[in-house]
Amino acid sequence: LSPTFDKISVAGNYNTICDSTANDSVTVTGHSNTIYLLNGGSDTLSLSGGIDTHVVGFTPGKGTVVAVSGTVASTGTTILDGMHTAVNGATLSFGTTSAAQAIFVTIGSIGNGTAAEVVSAANKAYQVADLTGNASSGALGEHVVFIGTDSGNSTELWSFKIDSSGSHTANANELTHVATLIGVLPASLTTGDLA
């Protein structure tokens, strides 16, 4: 990207995207892409349509926003700490199609970052409510983004959507690895960094 060409949408896979000094906009819908941020501006990274995106050079608090929640018309972003007290999904409001709520739950260490490790940590930090939503009223089903620390001390963001199993636990089929923020610890993230 350059100050002249500051927007890109990537539907392909295994691409490398380099940021410029401008306020860039990057949308990723493919998988296994890498984004290098040069910290030149306040960027918008829309990654909710992609999977396994790696972001190098992300600096919390700089103004770059990582949109990974998968919600549209988001009216609010909340980060909850599930490491000390498990978050109960039944107490949360996920909003509607016109006023979605982006909810993130910090789940602590996820070891090697496999879906099995994430689901193990998630089920300790989050109690599934089995809320499937209501198409007639526009009420959204249960969805959160789990924030975990992998063994490389990077932040991994995993999207969770209920699959109507009624099991009251998350399972690996309901998880999608959206992004890894290389060298970033979850404790440094604020709602201003996420959407």
pLDDT in tens, the chain (195 residues): 988 999 999 999 999 999 988 889 999 999 999 999 987 678 999 998 999 999 999 999 999 999 998 887 788 899 999 999 999 999 999 999 889 999 999 999 999 889 999 999 999 999 998 888 888 898 888 899 999 999 999 999 999 987 766 668 888 888 999 999 999 999 999 999 998
- Three-state SS for 173? helix
The total number of structural domains in the chain stands at 2
d(CA 47, CA 59): 16
**How far is Cα 109 from Cα 111, in angstroms, rounded to an integer?**
6
Which range marks the domain in which residue 135 is found?
Answer: 74-174
Q: 106: which strand partners?
A: 81, 147
41 and 106 assigned to the same domain: no
Residue 20 within any structural domain of the chain: yes
pLDDT of residue 166: 65
Whole-number pLDDT of residue 66: 93
Within this chain, do residues 50 and 23 fall inside the same structural domain, yes or no?
Answer: yes
The whole-number pLDDT of residue 165 equals 62
Same domain, 90 and 122: yes
The model's pTM is: 0.92
Return the pLDDT at 132: 86
Q: Are residues 87 and 163 in the same domain?
A: yes
Is residue 188 domain-resident?
no
Contact 124, 150 (CB under 8 A): no
- Asked, for residue 181, whether it belongs to a domain, the answer is no
The Cβ-side half-sphere exposure at 97, using a 13 Å CA radius, reads: 6
pLDDT for the residue numbered 164: 63
Provide the greatest CA pair distance for the chain. 51
Return the pLDDT at 162.
78
As beta bridge partners, residue 51 has 31
Query: How many CB atoms neighbour CB 19 within 10 A?
Result: 24
- The tokens describing 124, both together, are 């300790």
Task: Flag whether 186 is in a domain.
Answer: no
Which H or E run contains 118? Answer: helix 115-125
Residue 60 and residue 86 in one domain: no
The verdict on residue 23 lying in a domain is: yes
Task: Determine, yes or no, domain membership for 190.
Answer: no
| Co-location of 147 and 62 in the same domain | no
Residue 195 lies inside a defined structural domain of this protein: no
Residues 13, 86 within the same domain: no
Q: Are 93 and 119 contained in the same domain? A: yes
What local confidence, expressed as pLDDT, does residue 8 receive?
A: 94
Strands (E), 68-174: 74-81, 87-88, 95-96, 99-109, 126-127, 143-149, 155-161
- Residue 185: inside a domain: no
Q: Judge contact between 171 and 129, C-beta under 8 A.
A: no
